[in-house]
Amino acid sequence: MPRDWSRHFAPRAARMGASEIRELLKLLDQPDIISFAGGIPDPALFPREPLAAAFARVLGDPARAAAALQYSVSEGYRPLREWLANYMAGLGVACTPDNILITNGSQQALDFLGKLCIGPGDGVLVAAPTYLGALQAFNCYEPRYETLPGPESNRLHAGAGEGGGAPKFAYVMPEFQNPTGTTLDRRARAAVLDLAEALDLLVIEDAAYEKLRYDGEREPSLLQLAIERAGHIDEARVVYCGTFSKTIVPALRIGWAVAARPIIQKLVLIKQASDLHSATLNQMVMHEVAAELIEPHALEIRAAYRARRDAMLRALARHMPPGVDWTRPEGGMFIWVTLPVHLDGARLLERAVREARIAFVPGEAFFADRSRRNHLRLSFSLADPATIEEGIERLGRLLRAA
C-alpha cells in the first residue's frame, strides 16, 4: 500500500488539488499544436532592452546596487509606491504610498487577502465562471463559495445567510474578465457596491487586464466608486489588486494592492511573515521601466493584441457552426465560447489535441462547483492573426463533426 501522506497534512491540504486540465495542458508544448490555452503575454512584446538597461543602471551604481541587493521594507520600495500613488491618481483613485503594498504579482495579493479574511467555512462570493488562480489561492483557506449575483438578480440582497453567515468578500474582475472577457458596465459596478454595503462585505477588485482595453470607454474602478461613496480611501471597502505582469513583464513578479490603511497594515504583517518583502532589485528596476515607458509600451501591446482579438472574432464568425456562441471582449486576452449543452469541453480538448492539433482550456475549471462543462476559454494573446485563423478553422471543423 502506498503511504498515506495526507495524515501528515492539515485538513486544508485536501482542498489543494492539481487540476487535471493544467496537467494535460503541460504536455502541449509541441510545435505543431496551435494553442489558445495559455493566457500569457507574448514574449515578443517584452521590453527586453529597456529592462536590460535598467538592470545595468541600478547595478552599475555602487550606492544603488547596495540598496538593490539588500533586504528592504515589507511595504515595498518607497519610490515605486510613490510612483504608483501617482499612477492610481491618474486612474481616479486618490491615495498615498501608505495605501499601497507591493506584492509578488497580484496572485500574492489574492493569497494574502484569503489569509486575512477567510476562516474555514466562510462564504466568498465569486462570479461563475471566475479566475481559476483566485479559486486556487482562496481554496487554501477553506471557503464556501457562493455565486455573485448579477445586477438584474433579485437575489442581490439575499446572498447572505443561505449557507450560514454573511460572506466575507466578493471577488470581482470588472474589466475583461478571465475567462469570459466581459466587462461590468456602470450599473453592474454600482450593484456590486450596493451588495457589498447591504451585506457589509469587502470587495476584491482584480484589475489584472485593466490597461489592455482595445475599444469602448473606460469605466471608473470599483475602488474609485467606493472612495466616492465613502468620502476617503481609508473608509472604502474595496481592495484593488494591480500588476505589471500584463503590461511590462510577469517575470519580475511585481504587483500591488491599494486599500484603506488598516487593511494594508495587516497585509504588510502577512507579507513580512510570508517572504519579508518583494525582491528589492526587481522593484527598483520596475520603477525605472514603468516610469519610462508604461504608457508608450501599453499603446504598442494594445495594438498587437487588438489585431489578434479582431482576427479571432472574424475567424469565429466565419467558422463556428450554428448553436455555438462567444463573447466579444473590449480588451484583455480571452474569448469565452459556449457550446451546445450536450458537448463537454474537456472531452473536446482530448479530440482537439489528437485530431485537430489545437488546444484551449475547457471551461469547467473556472466554476467553483465545476458544474458547467460546455464552455471553452480561448486566448488570443500568443498567436499571430494567420495562425488564429487556421486554428479557429480547425476548431470549427472539429465542432461540426462533434
**Least distance from ligand PMP to the Cβ atom of residue 136, Å:** 11
- Closer to ligand PMP by CB, 195 or 212: give it: 212
**Least distance from ligand PMP to the Cβ atom of residue 206, Å:** 5
- Closer to ligand PMP by CB, 207 or 399: give it: 207
Closest-CB residue for ligand PMP? 105
**Least distance from ligand PMP to the Cβ atom of residue 374, Å:** 22
**Least distance from ligand PMP to the Cβ atom of residue 254, Å:** 8
Q: What are phi and psi of 240, to 5 degrees?
A: -95, 130
**Least distance from ligand PMP to the Cβ atom of residue 77, Å:** 17
Alpha-carbon distances, residue 382 vs 53, 233, 318, 321, 385 (angstroms) = 26, 37, 21, 24, 10
Strands 100-103 and 34-35, bridge-based pairing: unpaired
Contact present, 243 and 110 (Cβ < 8 Å): no
Contact present, 132 and 365 (Cβ < 8 Å): yes
**Least distance from ligand PMP to the Cβ atom of residue 218, Å:** 17
- Closer to ligand PMP by CB, 83 or 334: give it: 334
**Least distance from ligand PMP to the Cβ atom of residue 84, Å:** 14
How buried is residue 180: exposed, middle or buried, by Cβ count under 10 Å (0-12/13-18/19+)?
A: buried
**Least distance from ligand PMP to the Cβ atom of residue 238, Å:** 15
Contact present, 283 and 54 (Cβ < 8 Å): no
- Closer to ligand PMP by CB, 135 or 196: give it: 135
**Least distance from ligand PMP to the Cβ atom of residue 375, Å:** 17
- Compute how many other C-beta atoms are within 10 angstroms of the C-beta atom of residue 303: 11
Alpha-carbon distances, residue 109 vs 136, 150, 183, 242, 278 (angstroms) = 13, 25, 22, 9, 12
- Compute how many other C-beta atoms are within 10 angstroms of the C-beta atom of residue 162: 12
Q: Which residues bind ligand PMP (CB under 6 A)?
A: 39, 105-107, 131, 133, 173, 178, 206, 208, 243, 245, 250, 255
**Least distance from ligand PMP to the Cβ atom of residue 323, Å:** 29
- Closer to ligand PMP by CB, 181 or 396: give it: 181
Alpha-carbon distances, residue 337 vs 5, 82, 155, 334 (angstroms) = 39, 41, 26, 10
- Closer to ligand PMP by CB, 199 or 204: give it: 204
Pull the grid cell for residue 133.
488562480
- Closer to ligand PMP by CB, 123 or 332: give it: 332
Query: What letter represents residue 282's amino acid?
Result: N
- Closer to ligand PMP by CB, 206 or 364: give it: 206
Contact present, 106 and 208 (Cβ < 8 Å): yes
Contact present, 356 and 392 (Cβ < 8 Å): no
Phi-psi map region of 231: left, alpha, beta (phi>0 left; psi -120 to 50 alpha):
left
What letter does residue 231 receive in the DSSP assignment?
Answer: S
Burial 339-348 (b: 16+ CB within 10 A, else e): beeebbbbeb
**Least distance from ligand PMP to the Cβ atom of residue 333, Å:** 8
Which residues have CB under 8 Å from 138's CB, separation 6+? 110, 114, 118, 124, 126, 171
- Closer to ligand PMP by CB, 130 or 280: give it: 130
